Amino acid sequence: MFRTLAWWALQSGLRCQKPMSDADDLAIVKLMRRWKAEMRVIDGQAWLHVNGYFPATEIRSDKVEKAVPFIAQISKVRDWMVDRQRDCSRFGPLVMEGRDIGTEVFPLASVKIFLEADESVRQARLAGRGNIESIGATRDAMDATRRKGALYPALDALRVDNTCQTPDETYAILREHVRQRFPSV
């Protein structure tokens, strides 16, 4: 969702880079309040569409990746996003990923998982997805120190360092954790 707003702000010619002024923040908040954003479920996944369009490829670009932490620092944006994320529960049981889902958005969730990996491995994974440049460590530092919705694991989250794991190995750990919490699943 933050990526979608970052993409839309960039499309609209707004400044989404350091240093962000109060005027830059206000312009993004005004844009967010005016855009035609709608949550839609497609193939069992909820996506934020803008003017009927979901920018699936565009939100994974390097330019958007760099803009997201600056958008995420804006308190009014975070408030709006948390409301939209919580509203996703109307679609039924869900799995949601994000940097503050277990601490801010759904602090009472039955299952919380905090995935971690060494920075070099994360960089290689992003490069494998086509992201040539990554601001992973910079974004982590910005997100960990922001005033609202800071990046940190929930106290009751399962912490998984998947630095040396394949996606299948990580999935097996997560699946077993969920099965222990919900034996009928």
For residue 128, what are its two tokens?
Answer: 């494998």
Domain boundary among 40, 62, 92: 92
Residues 151, 124 share a domain: yes
The single-letter code of the amino acid at 185 is V
Domain boundary among 92, 127, 143: 92
Residues 68, 88 share a domain: yes
Q: Which residue range forms the structural domain that includes residue 171?
A: 95-185
Q: Residue 35's domain is classified under what CATH number?
A: 3.40.50.300
Residues 81, 10 share a domain: yes
Residues 111, 63 share a domain: no
* CA distance linking residue 185 with residue 10, whole number of Å: 42
pLDDT by residue (tens digit) across 26-41? 999 999 999 898 988 8
Q: Output the pTM of the full model.
A: 0.77
Residues 185, 118 share a domain: yes
For residue 122, what are its two tokens?
Answer: 């994360």
Q: How many domains does the chain have?
A: 2
pLDDT by residue (tens digit) across 11-65? 999 999 888 899 999 999 999 999 898 988 888 888 889 999 999 999 988 899 8
* CA distance linking residue 42 with residue 2, whole number of Å: 19
Q: Residue 50's beta-bridge partner residues? A: 37, 53
Residues 28, 82 share a domain: yes
For residue 64, what are its two tokens?
Answer: 């958007």
In eight-state DSSP terms, residue 113 is E
178: left (phi over 0), alpha (psi -120 to 50) or beta: alpha
Asked if 122 contacts 136 with a C-beta cutoff of 8 angstroms, the reply is yes
